[in-house]
Chain A
C-alpha cells in the first residue's frame, strides 16, 4: 500500500478529483427527476472546496454520486467523475470498494450512524487498517491511538476501549474523522459534518478540519448550508441552486464580489453582525425553490430574481459565464447588474419602545432527581421586548420554557406573569386568561402542526378556545385575517400540513400562537430547522407581528447571529445557570463572561470583512447530573481560578444598566477584555486595542 504523503503521488497541477458535466436523476413515481444537472468541479490536491446551497439543491447528491452511493433509485445520467484521471463511473464493484475505503472517504452529519454501536472504538478503528493495509491488530491499535491524538482526542486509551454511545457527539465525530484519515485518503467528502453539534464543539471540529488539509494534504469537498463555515474552512466554493451550480470561484472573491443574484440573495438574508433589525434589516428572497419536476425554463432562479428579464432569462438554459479566470456565474446579466447597490426591498423600522415588566422570574430552580436543569434563574421581560435566552443543548433553556408554559413544575423559585404566580401551576390548573396570554412557537416545522387537521381548523381551534363568543362567520373571517398576517394565501385554510413547505408550516405556527392575542410568546428555536433564506423571512415576520402587537417575545436559541439581530436583551445560560445577561449591545461587546466570549468566537460569520479573535476552549459540557459545585463553566474556562471557580458559585458583577456577569474574575480583568468580532470599518479603533 502506498504510504507516501499524497502530495507526492499527485504532484503537479493535475486535479485529484474532477466532475465533468455530471448529471444525476432519481427515479420516483412521477418519473425520472433530475437532482443535479450539468455539474462541474475541479478539486486540486490539498484544496478544500465548499459546496453550499439550501435543502433540495442537490449538494448531498453530488457527494453521494462521487462515492456512487446513490441507492437503488439514483441514476447517474451523464458526465464523468474522474479520480486521479480514472473515471469512477466505469469501475467494477471490486475496484470501487478499494477506492472508497482507501482513496476517498466520506463523513456524514450523524456520527452515530457511521459507528457500529456494538463494537468498541478501538476495534472499529483498527479494522480500517487491518482490512485496507493488512496490518496486525497490535500495530493497528497503536496507529489508531496515534491518530486519536492527531484529531485532538485526549485520553486515547479510555476512548479506544469505549463504545460509541459512551462518547459525546463531538468526540464521536472526531472518531469518524480519525477513521476516515487512518486509510490516508486523498479526498475527504464531508456532508454537513458539524450540523448536529453544538456551536462550541463545532468550532473545535472546524478547526480540526481546517488543519487536516494542511497537515495531511487531503483534498476536501465540504458540503454545508452554512456560508460562514465555508468561509472559515475552504479556499474555493460552489453555490448550488435547484440542482445547478450557479456560482463558483475562490471563497474570498465570491464573498467580496458576488456575481449571481441567488448568492447575493443568500448573503442579504444572513444575519451578519452589520445587520440590524431597525436600520439594516434582512432581505429575504421572494418565492420558493421550484420543485425538481417542474423547474422553470431558462434560469431556474428566474421567477424569484429581481433582475429577471423576460425573453432573455427564460428562453434557454443559461450557461456558466466566466467572471474572471477563476470565478464563474450562471447569469445572463452579469455585466448589467449593479452588484454593489444595496439589495432592494429593505425596509427600515422604528425602534420599539419597551414598556413595563410583564414577566418576572426569581430564583427559579428545577431538579429531576440529581439533574439540575435550572438553577437559580432570575430575570425579567418587559412589554414589547424581545428577550433572547441563549445557550447550547443541555443548558436548560427548554426546561425553563416547559415550566413557564405549565407543562412542568419548578422545584423552587417563582415566575410571575403580570402578578400571577405560575412556577408550580400546571397548565391544566391555569385559568383561560393566563393560558391565552402565554403562547408558544415550536422548533420543528414538521412537528408543530397536527398532520391530520386542516390549517384552518387548527387556527380556528385557538379562536374557539380563547375568543369570547365569536360566531362561526367571525371565526372564519379572523382565520383568514391571520393568514394575511403571516403572508400566506387565504386558501391555505383548507390545506393540510403535508401540502405546505417547512417555512409555511412555521408561519402557520406563528399565526396559531398569535391568534389569541397573547401577552407573551415563547419561541423555542423557531427558525433553526429552516433554510437560510426561509429563516430570514420567518424571523422578519415574527418580529413584525411582535412589534405590531406589542407582544413580549422570549426567543430561545443557540444561534448568536439571529439573537444579535433581533433581540433587545439577552440571557446567556450554561448548564442550567445564567452566566451573563444584559442588553444585546452589552452582551456582544466587552466585558464578556468567559463563556460568552467562547460562544461568540465559535460562531462562524459569513463576512470576510470581519475578523474574529480566536478563543480556544477545550472539552465539552459536563453532565448536568454531576455539575461542578461552583461555576458550571469552570471545567472548560481558560481563565479558571484554581480552588475558587469550581468550588464557589460566582457572584453577579454589575456592569452598566442591567448588565450582569456571573464570574469570579476581577472586575478589571473583565473590563480589559478585547472585542471578539472586529469589523473592517472599525478596524482602526480596534487597532489601537491590538497594539
Chain B
C-alpha cells in the first residue's frame, strides 16, 4: 500500500518545543514580570529594597523597550493595536524611567501658578507649575506610576479570581455553577462605584483595598465570560479525549481549556485595564484612593479642581486628564486591534 507522507512545508520547524503553549511566550512573560515586579517593589515596598531602591527600575527600561519592539513587530497587521500599544508603552516606559530622567523633584515647590512654556525661578516649565509651584511635567511623568502599578495588579487579581471561578462554573457545572453564578449575579447587581466605595470605606484607604475592591467589582464579569467560553469548549472532542484518558479536572481546566479561550480574554483584559484605570483615578479624585503628597493623576486632577475653575489655570487639570485619557485610550485601542486581528484569521 502506498501511503507516502504528505509534503512538509518547512515554515516553522519548532523542533525543540513540545511544551504547553503557556511557555511559548516565555520571553514576553519574563519581560512583563520583570517590569511589573520591579515597579511594584519600587512603588509599594520602597523600604524593603533599602539601598537598591535607587537602581531598582534600571533593568526595566530596556525590558519595556524590548516589549514595545516585540509588540510592534508581531502586531504589524493592525495599525490600531500598534497605536494603542505605543500609548500604553509610553506611559509604562515613563513610569519606569521617571527616576532617571533629568526631572526636578515632583514634590518640590518652586514657582506657584506658572503657566506652561515659561521660565521662572531659574527653571523652564514646559507644562507649567501647579498652585504649590511643583513642576507639572515632572508630576505628570511620575504620576502614572501608581495608577499603572495598582491598575495592573488589581486587574490581574480580578482575572485570577474570575478565571478560576469561571472555569469551575463552566467545566464542573452542576452545583458549582449554580452557586458561583448566583454570587456573581448578586455582585453584578451593585452599581460599580457604590461597590468600590463600600469596600474602600469598610477596609480603609490603601492600595490593597483598591485591589480587593476592583476584584469584587470585575471578577464576576470575568467569571461570566470565562464560564461561557468554557461551556462551549467543554463540548469539544479533545476535552472528551482528555477525560477518557483520566485527566483530573484542574488539568483539563488549566491545560486543555484555558489556552483555548485566551483570545477573547486578552481582548477583555485590555478593556478592563482601561476600566480599572478609570476607577482608580476616580477613587483618588473622590479622596478614597491614594493619598498625597506623591504625584498621581487622580490626585493632580483633584487638587487642581478649584484652581482650574479659572481658564488661565485650566492646564493644571487638562495635563493630568490628557495623560490618564491617553493611557485608557491606549488600552482600548489595543483591545480593538487585537479583536480585529483575531477575527481576521
Contacts and interface: CB of A to CB of B under 8 A. Distances in A.
B256 A450 contact: yes
Contact of B246 (A281, A427, A450, A512): A427
A494 B13 contact: yes
Interface string B1-29: 11111111100111111111100000000
A281 B1 contact: yes
A346 B1 contact: yes
A492 B12 CA distance: 10
Q: Which 10 A-B pairs have the closest CB atoms?
A: A452-B259, A456-B18, A345-B2, A494-B14, A442-B237, A447-B237, A286-B4, A435-B246, A452-B21, A288-B6
Interface in A433-469: 435, 438-440, 442-444, 447-454, 456-457, 460-462, 465-466
Interface stretch (A7-15, A209-217, A248-256, A483-491): A483-491
A493 B244 contact: no
A407 B241 contact: no
A276 interface: no
B341 to A, nearest CB: 12
Interface residues of B, number: 36
Contact of A448 (B6, B238, B259): B238
A37 interface: no
Given A430-B246, A447-B237, A495-B14, 12 more contacts: A288-B7, A303-B7, A442-B241, A448-B237, A450-B242, A453-B20, A454-B17, A457-B18, A491-B8, A493-B18, A494-B17, A499-B12
Contact of B18 (A407, A494, A499, A516): A494
A541 interface: yes
Contacts of B12: 494-495, 499
A267 to B, nearest CB: 16
Interface of B: 1-9, 12-21, 236-238, 240-247, 255-256, 259-260, 262, 344
Contacts of A479: 18
B242 to A, nearest CB: 8
Contacts of A406: 244
Contacts of A456: 18
B199 to A, nearest CB: 36
10 contacts: A286-B2, A405-B244, A435-B244, A439-B245, A440-B244, A442-B238, A447-B237, A454-B19, A457-B18, A540-B1
Contacts of A488: 5
Contact of A494 (B16, B240, B246): B16
Contact of B8 (A281, A489, A493): A489
Interface string A45-63: 0000000000000000000
A349 B20 CA distance: 40
A465 B245 contact: yes
B21 A487 contact: no
Given A444-B237, A447-B236, A453-B21, A516 B245 contact: yes
Contacts of A283: 1-2
A326 interface: no
Interface in A24-70: 29
A465 B240 CA distance: 16
A491 B15 contact: yes
A92 interface: no
A491 B9 CA distance: 11
Contacts of B242: 450
A492 B5 CA distance: 11
B238 A407 contact: no
Contacts of A452: 20-21, 259-260, 262
Given A287-B7, A346-B1, A448-B237, A460 B244 contact: no
Interface string A539-571: 011001000000000000000000000000000
A284 B6 contact: no
A284 B18 contact: no
Nearest to B77: A29
B17 A439 contact: no
A361 B236 CA distance: 27
Contacts of B16: 494
Contacts of A465: 245-247
B237 A427 contact: no
